[in-house]
Amino acid sequence: MTHPGDGTVTIELDQRDDGELIGIILAAARRGDVATMARTASEVSEMTRNWATHIPWDDFAALDGADDELARVVADLTEMWEPAHLRNPVDPDEEYALDKNAYDFYRPAGRNLLTRTEDFYDWVQARRRTETWQYSRVLEAAPDSVAQITNDLGRRARGINFNSQDYLSFNTHPGIREAAAKAMHDYGPHSAGSPMVLGNTRISDDLEAALGDLVGLEHVTLFPTGWAAGFGAVVGLVRQSDHILIDRLAHSCLQQGARAATRNVVRYEHLNVEAVRRHLAGIRATDSRNGILVVTDGLFSVDADWPDLVTLQQVCREYDATLLVDVAHDLGSMGPGGTGVLGMQGLLGAVDIVMGAFSKTFCSNGGFVASRSPALKQYVKMFGGSHFFSNALSPVQTAVVREAARIIRSAEGDALRARLFTAIHALRDELTGRGLTCMGEPSPIVPLLIGNEKLARTANRLLFDRGVLAFMVEFPVTPTGSSRFRLQVQAGHRPEEAREAARIIDGALADSRAYLSSAFGSAPR
């Protein structure tokens, strides 16, 4: 037939398809029968000729005698003809371990809750066999800037430690240990019960006062973990018909709290205050009755950035929305006098609700919720669930946090933060100088962007034996395709240690790229 506007092309329907023709040519080539090759080639479609431009379709007849030329044609045609994975076999375990991500197992099939977890377990086992499972490593001794660990296959390693959240190196601080010992002596190891019953001690009251002082919000409630504080604050306050606007990358305890509290959840673009304003205007246009909680982290825990809280709080007030800020990572470790992002933005005492965790700088477990309202405090204690229905922090934990809060506010705290930031700058500068991408701003969290999960998992495997302990984060902590190493710096890291670690990480990444034969770099877009 002939196409309109194109008188030259005639296409014969009955022609054999290219696959069949290539099969014939290949068989003839193997026999050295160039005449058949040339005859058959004339029937191959124009499409295929224009595509497989490396095959000398018109010159088959002239291949006579030139042996390696013929061999080349055979090789090239075979490549077009046989499935490529048959030529390049791969280790199925490794392929499985590196290709999947945890999300692939989120909705398992079957009605038996016990057996349907097995699919996921097979994948975990493949990751473990190939030593690419970064989770559940254990410490062999007290960690400081160096730690000794065992992975979940029982293999040991020792390395410069970026896995502890102990930003001011309190774990080895004599004052902190002494406070723990004293509380142990005075009250024993047990917390007697829920803080609503008899779980708190006098130390708890002191601690609430100290924290209130630190963030400028005098009504403070303690929780057994930071997770419980975030979850409890959200579900304690928000009801089905209320709304939540939450930063897409806010911590899991807040996301899960939001999902548990209401279906009216909007995840706004990371840090985008203008987006919050738009959403608030949209909600208020149709709903003037119900509450709106706006939720964000202070310092984001895998991105190392923070929002403009001044504008965010202002925007919230304009629309009668309430702001909740999670300062788990920045409180104590940065900002004037350890006041974190709030202090850096001049917002002490000026944010509606602040929550935090003691699991980072404060060298313990636990968390808190603070505001200026005694009513809100009593309400969250009653309806937060994770406060009422969970045992209180133990006296030892409470005493440690109280002592940590004291040091944080002292001149020693300033000195420790100065050392911490010297190490942070050394690490970031060395990584950046090597062409790697550190995300966010200088802070105790240094996220080193890797992106591709395979690369990150392979680099992680290499690092284990090279003397750096760095936690690799991937989905569900980060979005698919933006995995990274989260390096958590401590005041106890010497700058030279930080630079040495950067060199080792760079080497492991280069070797992983070579191992995977990958050309992708580390620029985000």
* Angle subtended at Cα 31 by Cα 27 and Cα 36, rounded to the nearest 5 degrees: 65
Six token digits for residue 482: 């933006």
∠406-169-229 over CA atoms, to 5°?
65
Give the nearest distance from C-beta 54 to ligand FAD in angstroms. Answer: 7
Residue 241 near another protein by CB under 8 A: no
From the list ligand FAD, another protein, ligand PLP, none, pick the one residue 521 interacts with, judged by a Cβ distance below 5 to 8 Å according to partner type. another protein
Instruction: State yes or no: residue 519 binds another protein (CB under 8 A).
Output: yes
Give the H or E element holding residue 370: strand 367-371
Residue 209 interacts with, from another protein, ligand PLP, ligand FAD, none (CB under 5-8 Å by kind)? none
Residue closer to ligand FAD, measured from CB, 36 or 45 = 45
Among ligand FAD, another protein, ligand PLP, none, residue 301 binds (CB under 5-8 Å by kind): ligand PLP
* HSE, side-chain direction, 13 A CA sphere, residue 392: 25
- Least distance from C-beta 224 to ligand PLP, angstroms? 9
Shortest spacing between CB 429 and another protein, in angstroms: 21
Looking at the Cβ atoms of 156 and 278, the one nearer to another protein is 278
Which is it for the CA torsion 13, 14, 19, 22, positive or negative? negative
Nearest distance, CB of residue 510 and ligand PLP, angstroms = 30
User: Considering the complex, what minimum distance in angstroms separates the CB of residue 302 from ligand PLP?
Assistant: 8
Residues sharing a CB contact under 8 Å with residue 293, sequence separation 6 or more, in sequence order:
234, 237, 238, 242, 243, 244, 245, 321, 322, 324
Are 360 and 167 a contacting pair, CB within 8 Å?
yes
Sign (positive or negative) of CA dihedral 243, 246, 248, 251: negative
Nearest alpha-carbon partner for 6 in 46, 41, 42: 46
- The verdict on 447 binding ligand PLP (CB under 6 A) reads no
The site for ligand PLP, by CB under 6 A, has a size of 15
Closest CB to another protein among residues 110, 349: 110
- Selected from 171, 359, 361, 397, the binder of ligand PLP by CB under 6 A is 359
The pattern of x and - marking residues 266 through 285 that bind another protein according to CB under 8 A reads -x------------------
Segment 104-123, which members bind another protein (CB under 8 A)? 104-110
Which CB atom, from 345 or from 386, has the smaller least distance to ligand PLP?
A: 386
Check: CB of residue 486 under 8 Å from CB of residue 428.
Answer: no
- Summary count for the chain: helices (H), strands (E): 19, 14
Rank residues 6 and 67 by Cβ distance to another protein and give the closer one.
6
* 25, containing H or E segment: helix 18-31
* String marking each residue 376-415 x if it binds ligand PLP according to CB under 6 A: ----------------------------------------
Q: Which of 313, 319, 326, 332 is nearest to 283 (CA)?
A: 319
Q: Does position 295 bind ligand PLP by CB under 6 A? A: no
Question: Footprint of ligand FAD on this chain (CB under 6 A)?
Answer: 50-51, 53
Q: Which residue has the tokens 């409630």?
A: 221
Nearest residue to 269 via CA among 290, 236, 296, 301: 296
Q: Give the CB-side neighbour count of residue 58, counting CA atoms within 13 A.
A: 4
Q: Shortest approach of ligand PLP to residue 357 CB, angstroms?
A: 3
Q: In this complex, which beta carbon is closest to ligand FAD, that of residue 50 or of residue 286?
A: 50
Q: Which residue is nearest to ligand FAD (CB)?
A: 53
- Residue 209-238 contact track with ligand PLP, rule CB under 6 A, x = bound: ----------------xxx--x--------
Nearer to ligand PLP, 162 or 227 (CB): 227
Comparing CB distances to ligand FAD, the nearer of 10 and 50 is 50
Shortest separation between residue 469's beta carbon and another protein, angstroms:
24
Residues 421, 174 contacting (CB under 8 angstroms): no
C-beta of 397: minimal distance to ligand FAD in Å? 59
Residue 253 interacts, among ligand FAD, another protein, ligand PLP, none and using kind-specific CB cut-offs from 5 to 8 Å, with: ligand PLP
Q: Work out how close the CB of 80 gets to ligand FAD at its nearest, in angstroms, rounded to a whole number.
A: 11
Cβ proximity to ligand FAD, 51 vs 135, nearer residue = 51
Dihedral-angle region of residue 188 (phi above 0 means left; psi in -120 to 50 means alpha; beta otherwise) = left
Phi, psi of 260 (to 5 degrees): -75, -25
- 215 Cβ contact partners less than 8 Å away, ≥ 6 residues apart: 327, 331, 339, 342, 348, 349, 354, 356, 370
CA separation for the pair 475, 454 (Å, rounded): 12
Q: Could you tell me the smallest distance in angstroms from the CB atom of residue 60 to another protein?
A: 16
For ligand PLP, the binding residue among 173, 243, 251, 484 (CB under 6 A) is 251
Q: Which does 357 bind (CB under 5 to 8 A by kind): ligand PLP, ligand FAD, another protein, none?
A: ligand PLP
CA 444/CA 301 separation, integer angstroms: 10
The reply on whether position 196 binds another protein by CB under 8 A is: no
End-to-end CA distance of the chain: 46
Cβ partners under 8 Å of residue 322, min gap 6: 237, 291, 292, 293, 294, 316, 352, 353
The rounded distance, in Å, linking the Cα atoms of 299 and 203 is 28
Nearer CB in complex with ligand FAD: 84/514: 84
Q: Answer yes or no whether residue 53 interacts with another protein by CB under 8 A.
A: yes
CB of 284 to another protein, least distance (A): 20
Whether 513 and 455 have beta carbons less than 8 Å apart is answered as yes
Residues that bind ligand PLP (CB under 6 A): 225-227, 230, 251, 253, 297, 301, 326, 328-329, 357, 359, 365, 367
